[in-house]
Structure 1
Amino acid sequence: MPGLRGPSDYKQEPSRHPALVINAKEPFNAEPHRSDLVSSYVTPVEFFYKRNHGPIPIVDDIDKYSVSIAGLIGHPKDLYMKDIRKLPKYTVTATLQCAGNRRTAMSKTRTVKGVGWDIAAIGNAVWSGAKLADVLELVGIHKCSHVTPSGGKHVEFVSIDKCKEENGGPYKASIPLSQATNPEADVLLAYEMNGETLNRDHGYPLRVIVPGIIGARSVKWLDSISIIAEECQGFFMQKDYKMFPPSVNWDNINWSTRRPQMDFPVQSAICSLEDVNMVKPGKIKIKGYAVSGGGRGIERVDISIDGGKTWAEASKTQNPGIPYISDAETSDKWAWVLFEAEADIPQSTEIVAKAVDIAGNVQPENVEVIWNLRGILNTSWHRVHVRIAHSKL
């Protein structure tokens, strides 16, 4: 594509914050320390997890950069950044979460394949750009359409990013046309993150933001948009990011028996404590995040300081100064909540967090029942261990 290219090596990677925990160097995959993650409601760009499949694309000439829209439509069109910026600008606060978040804990049950993420392959940002529903109207697709006159039912996003899983081809993914054309779904072609121009790690110059579903569908470094009859046939839609039962292994897997994962289940994690902690007897603060897919708010976060025998409710916040109500218009429905509780810890114990969303969905008690060979969607109760350090006389 003129103006944007995907390099074949890692010689021109952007700089990154030195405090990130690097899970893979090439391609670069990293997350913040868990305590840094919940230091603010909006995740700073430098602490937003980095999930990549190849070298970071490079913009040579932003004025030549365009996105082609083609497929099962009447009139294909090339859109330049100036065209996209002429459309109404919307701002959406949305949490993105890698489907492999908390994979490391799942692998302790049985080995899984994938990047070894702790609990911070997640971040909450303020995204700004044009609504995809407005963009698609430019090529004659009406809002809230389920199918085009030519039979298009899905919208495929193709990146300039080249990845080995696609045999050197581009990363791609799709969402249903009904979601893409629904203004209430808040799907964006975003060019800003936290009020600033996207940086290279996060999709400069243009990326898709699909709130409420796994991050793998929010394609970065957008090259083209295709209106297609069936869902995208790319690797990451058909041979990855699918949820299998614990009985399936690499010898008996049949990818065609499962749909591509889209929605994310209810999730929470404790970020103020490590997996094992030495503390003095007394009160400690328990902080973390909770989020659910599909725009479902968080009804409550339960905390246990005795391994799950008894529970107390944590407080929840989003924007400072605005009370969080799970289904209120004043709340950010696509975003996480931060929770906090204080507890007196007189002896060594296991602290547990679990969240419940407005549909009554709750996290499963243990990881064994949701184990899967790709290690995705580990939404089991999050547990940390506290050991009391008694001072010597």
Structure 2
Amino acid sequence: MATRIPRIATREQLLKHAARRVPINPTARRLHTTTVPRRNPPTPTPRSNPQTPSKPPPPKTARVAPSSLLLTSGLLASLFVFSQTHDDDDHDDDTSSRPSLSPSPTTTSTSSRDPSLPTYRLSFIRHNHGPTSPEPWVTLGDKVYNITDWIPAHPGGDVILRAAGGSVEPYWNIFSIHHSPHVKEILEGYLVGYVSPSDLGPDGKPPPASIEDPFVNDPIRDKRLITHTLKPRNAEPPNGELDKSFLTGNEMFYVRHHMWVPDDAGEGEEELVVELPGGEERRYTLGELKRRFKTERVTATLQCSGNRRNDMTRHAGKTNGLQWGVGAISNAVWEGVRLGDVLRDAGLEVEKGGEDQRKKMHAWFVGREAYSASIPLAKAVEGTGDVLLAWGMNGEVLPRDHGFPLRVVVPGNVAARSVKWLSKIVIADEEATSQWQRRDYKSFGPNEGASPDWDRAPSIQEMPVTSAITGVWVGECVKKVPWMMGGGDNNNNNNNNKITSVGSGQRTIDMAATPQKVGFTAKPTTPTATPCPKTTPDKEPIALQGYAYSGGGRKITRVDVSLDGGATWDQAELVDDCSNPATPCYGSKSWAWTRWRYNGTLPVLSLPPASFPSTATAPLPPALAKVGQDCEDGFGRSVGLMGRLPNHKKQCTTLIVKATDESYNTQPESHKGIYNVRGNLATAWHRVKICPECTKGNGGKGGLVWNTGETYGCGFRKEAEEVREGMRAASESTGNGK
């Protein structure tokens, strides 16, 4: 029978690992282990210090924040948790111009202080409750907090201890996720006193302190990536680059971080520790892994559980977390050794106990930056699971952003299980106890709100089927697209792709090339110098492209496309990338995404009159005049505003895509039916709205142009702006602002 080791590490362990700047080793119930006695928190030694307050602090009791607070708004509201970074600001690479998000002082007047609590000099806090103290404290504003009982449950390891003995505010100015009322509410549970008035400045706070920015050594990223948060970096490739080729270039692979990128790991310098159920450990260097085990390759797609979360926000309701578009997914060839081979070499008796025993056991993965997650042991050791300890990506050394020098790659599972910067593997009889395993990556019913029963839902492992539209060309914009003319994708990797036609009435459209590609550029083509028609042309050509993917190694067998909001359907062409000699697929199952292509004709739509004719006599209000100018300039980003103006009702159609895998799993029709406040597994039909418009051309003559706006995330830029505005308004109305 398994014995239990306490999940909460001792203070000595915490301090030891903080000093080494590596994450705390996970603890769990392990088979055939010796029980480790639970240690009580150390009792502080009485100190004789002239700055010690005359009134002793109140008795210290364990204060565990209730889960309703830890999980409100989908953010693990803790001091230094970055797992669910959420930024309602514009997604810019440079945030230096943004207004400061520093919290206001928690107390600006000593008259508002609780008289029952003592005051402390900053020097006393610094010397007696710093990073090496058994009883660490922090300050925020003029308040003092004893976080001793909270640290063992903190996933950040040495991060929280960096602030001990001083103010957490400089760290909050870096990690803006913590500017939330819920975080401060939790912190209030640890209040033990106030900073002495002698140490406060005119603003009611201690003098600002400078700290080392832990992100200063992060790698430089490609400027084309769409950045959702800068620190930690979370970014996705733009639609025009996402599925441009079957294998996503390393520089374009989406970036998902919870903390900074470790910079103290080097090939051959760090060891991978494998801990078995009995407590035995086996250590491997990267060089040893390469020498002693057979090198394997696996072609696998990694996808964040929050991919297309912005879609769920737009079509179902407010969601918490990064507002990913369709780009939190990428595909690569991974190179390394099979995890099962390493575990057997380390002494794990994989076959002992049979399949049932393997299903009850779990393989924990611990990263150097404190992140940890787990998968069932059966997935880890089965030959067809293709789980790798990878050091290579697309024929190159694993980039730092993607786990250098070693990471786990778990094909078919949510990418949250493919832990980067791997430092330790633990075989245990329960799944990892980190919040990334037990809470963050789960999904619930639409009715369960922000505080569900987290223990009831299983952790996300295999991913459901999904698909997305990444490219749209309409009308004159449909030119000799390479994949339509049999020339592949016009890139070095895929010049000879085979396209398997499964459509019923599709045709190759050969039109004059124009510089405009709707959905990819900001300005439409120059309008024709003819009067604007009342309707769009019959059989207006359209071309679409995108990807489809299903977890668990299930192959995509069909992609359905609708050009009229779901009234009628047709099938897309599936690109058989794996048959291309330039991009052979490695692995036991279909772990990679399937790219699809479609061309057809749009339904006839009515057209509104040309925008803002020059004969107008009454001046427009300033705001509408600006809108009018934008529309005359032809920018798709303003088309969404046309419907708000008199006599300018939009006439649009909705493009839809849905996929089916080999087990006949298909996507749900609506995000409303799968809505969850975390925004996980947003896999409903992907919809993109496109609108025709009459614009005023040269000489006052109008012409027809199609607008979707500039592509942005899962939709187009105007839609993304509306989403951010709506979420910001909702946040302010509920008191959840920055």
TM-score (structure 2 length as normaliser) = 0.49
Would you say the 8 A contact 2:276–2:348 is kept in 1?
no
> Equivalent residues in 2 for 1:158-177 (5 A)?
158-161=366-369, 170-177=370-377
Matched, 1:153 2:361: yes
Matched, 1:335 2:335: no
Matched, 1:260 2:517: no
**Deviating more after overlay: 376-385 vs 102-111:** 102-111
In the alignment, the residues of structure 2 paired with residue 380 and residue 152 of structure 1 have an alpha-carbon distance, to the nearest angstrom, of 32
In structure 2, the partner of 1:79 is: 284
Residue 202 to residue 60, structure 1, CA distance change in 2 (3 Å): closer
95, 101, 105: which one pairs with 2:301?
95
Runs of at least 5 residues in structure 1 that lack an aligned partner in the other structure: 162-169
Matched, 1:313 2:521: no
Would you say the 8 A contact 1:364–1:381 is kept in 2?
yes
Would you say the 8 A contact 1:366–1:380 is kept in 2?
yes
> Equivalent residues in 2 for 1:2-17 (5 A)?
9-17=214-222
In the alignment, the residues of structure 2 paired with residue 306 and residue 291 of structure 1 have an alpha-carbon distance, to the nearest angstrom, of 24
354, 362, 376: which one pairs with 2:666?
362
In structure 2, the partner of 1:270 is: 469
In the alignment, the residues of structure 2 paired with residue 360 and residue 110 of structure 1 have an alpha-carbon distance, to the nearest angstrom, of 28
Give the Å deviation of 1:62.
2.5
Give the Å deviation of 1:389.
3.5
Residue 332 to residue 195, structure 1, CA distance change in 2 (3 Å): farther
Residue 262 to residue 378, structure 1, CA distance change in 2 (3 Å): same
Give the Å deviation of 1:106.
1.1
Give the Å deviation of 1:148.
11
> Equivalent residues in 2 for 1:374-385 (5 A)?
374-385=678-689
Amino acid at match of 2:546: G
549, 552, 556: which one pairs with 1:294?
552
Give the Å deviation of 1:309.
1.0
In structure 2, the partner of 1:229 is: 429
Matched, 1:140 2:347: yes
Query: What SS is found at the alignment partner of 2:599?
Result: strand
253, 257, 277: which one pairs with 1:48?
253
In structure 1, the partner of 2:226 is: 21
Residue 254 to residue 312, structure 1, CA distance change in 2 (3 Å): same
Give the Å deviation of 1:3.
11
Query: What SS is found at the alignment partner of 2:256?
Result: coil
In structure 1, the partner of 2:411 is: 211
Query: What SS is found at the alignment partner of 1:43?
Result: coil
Query: What SS is found at the alignment partner of 1:239?
Result: helix
Query: What SS is found at the alignment partner of 1:47?
Result: coil
116, 119, 122: which one pairs with 2:326?
119
Amino acid at match of 1:299: T
Which one scores higher on RCO, CA 8 angstroms, separation ≥ 6?
Answer: 1
Residue 144 to residue 263, structure 1, CA distance change in 2 (3 Å): farther
Amino acid at match of 1:303: V
In the alignment, the residues of structure 1 paired with residue 436 and residue 216 of structure 2 have an alpha-carbon distance, to the nearest angstrom, of 26
1:258-303 per-position Cα deviation (integer Å, ceiling 9, x unaligned): 1111111100000003599979863221000000010000010000
Would you say the 8 A contact 2:359–2:376 is kept in 1?
no
Aligned residues: 380
Would you say the 8 A contact 2:321–2:678 is kept in 1?
yes
Query: What SS is found at the alignment partner of 2:299?
Result: strand
Give the Å deviation of 1:63.
2.3
In the alignment, the residues of structure 2 paired with residue 320 and residue 104 of structure 1 have an alpha-carbon distance, to the nearest angstrom, of 31
Would you say the 8 A contact 1:75–1:139 is kept in 2?
no
Query: What SS is found at the alignment partner of 2:676?
Result: coil
Would you say the 8 A contact 1:93–1:332 is kept in 2?
no
Which protein shows a greater Rg?
A: 2
1:3-53 per-position Cα deviation (integer Å, ceiling 9, x unaligned): 996896111110000010000011100001112101000000111100000
Residue 142 to residue 265, structure 1, CA distance change in 2 (3 Å): same
Residue 299 to residue 4, structure 1, CA distance change in 2 (3 Å): farther
Residue 70 to residue 372, structure 1, CA distance change in 2 (3 Å): same
Residue 211 to residue 329, structure 1, CA distance change in 2 (3 Å): closer
Would you say the 8 A contact 1:276–1:386 is kept in 2?
no
In structure 2, the partner of 1:388 is: 692
Give the Å deviation of 1:320.
6.6
Query: What SS is found at the alignment partner of 1:238?
Result: helix
Give the Å deviation of 1:319.
1.9
In the alignment, the residues of structure 2 paired with residue 150 and residue 259 of structure 1 have an alpha-carbon distance, to the nearest angstrom, of 17
1:347-388 per-position Cα deviation (integer Å, ceiling 9, x unaligned): 341110000011111101111000001000000000111112
Give the Å deviation of 1:75.
3.8
**Deviating more after overlay: 74-83 vs 283-292:** 74-83
Residue 197 to residue 144, structure 1, CA distance change in 2 (3 Å): farther
Would you say the 8 A contact 2:659–2:667 is kept in 1?
yes
1:107-141 per-position Cα deviation (integer Å, ceiling 9, x unaligned): 22211111110110000000010000111111122
Would you say the 8 A contact 2:555–2:590 is kept in 1?
yes
Give the Å deviation of 1:240.
1.1
1:70-93 per-position Cα deviation (integer Å, ceiling 9, x unaligned): 140474101101111021011000
Amino acid at match of 1:355: A
In the alignment, the residues of structure 1 paired with residue 375 and residue 424 of structure 2 have an alpha-carbon distance, to the nearest angstrom, of 14
In the alignment, the residues of structure 1 paired with residue 675 and residue 521 of structure 2 have an alpha-carbon distance, to the nearest angstrom, of 23
Give the Å deviation of 1:105.
1.6
Amino acid at match of 1:365: E
Would you say the 8 A contact 1:289–1:336 is kept in 2?
yes
Residue 330 to residue 101, structure 1, CA distance change in 2 (3 Å): closer
Amino acid at match of 1:116: Q
Would you say the 8 A contact 2:274–2:424 is kept in 1?
yes
Residue 337 to residue 287, structure 1, CA distance change in 2 (3 Å): same
Give the Å deviation of 1:143.
5.1
In the alignment, the residues of structure 2 paired with residue 128 and residue 3 of structure 1 have an alpha-carbon distance, to the nearest angstrom, of 30
In the alignment, the residues of structure 2 paired with residue 135 and residue 90 of structure 1 have an alpha-carbon distance, to the nearest angstrom, of 13
In structure 1, the partner of 2:513 is: none
In the alignment, the residues of structure 2 paired with residue 4 and residue 195 of structure 1 have an alpha-carbon distance, to the nearest angstrom, of 31
Would you say the 8 A contact 1:73–1:227 is kept in 2?
no
In the alignment, the residues of structure 1 paired with residue 394 and residue 467 of structure 2 have an alpha-carbon distance, to the nearest angstrom, of 23
Query: What SS is found at the alignment partner of 2:548?
Result: strand
In the alignment, the residues of structure 2 paired with residue 105 and residue 235 of structure 1 have an alpha-carbon distance, to the nearest angstrom, of 25
Structure with greater helix share of residues: 2
Would you say the 8 A contact 1:69–1:76 is kept in 2?
yes
In the alignment, the residues of structure 1 paired with residue 334 and residue 587 of structure 2 have an alpha-carbon distance, to the nearest angstrom, of 17
Amino acid at match of 1:236: W
In the alignment, the residues of structure 1 paired with residue 390 and residue 468 of structure 2 have an alpha-carbon distance, to the nearest angstrom, of 28
In the alignment, the residues of structure 2 paired with residue 149 and residue 116 of structure 1 have an alpha-carbon distance, to the nearest angstrom, of 39
Would you say the 8 A contact 2:384–2:589 is kept in 1?
no
TM-score (structure 1 length as normaliser) = 0.90
In structure 1, the partner of 2:57 is: none
Amino acid at match of 1:98: C
In the alignment, the residues of structure 1 paired with residue 578 and residue 280 of structure 2 have an alpha-carbon distance, to the nearest angstrom, of 46
Residue 329 to residue 22, structure 1, CA distance change in 2 (3 Å): closer
Amino acid at match of 2:312: M
**Deviating more after overlay: 80-89 vs 280-289:** 280-289
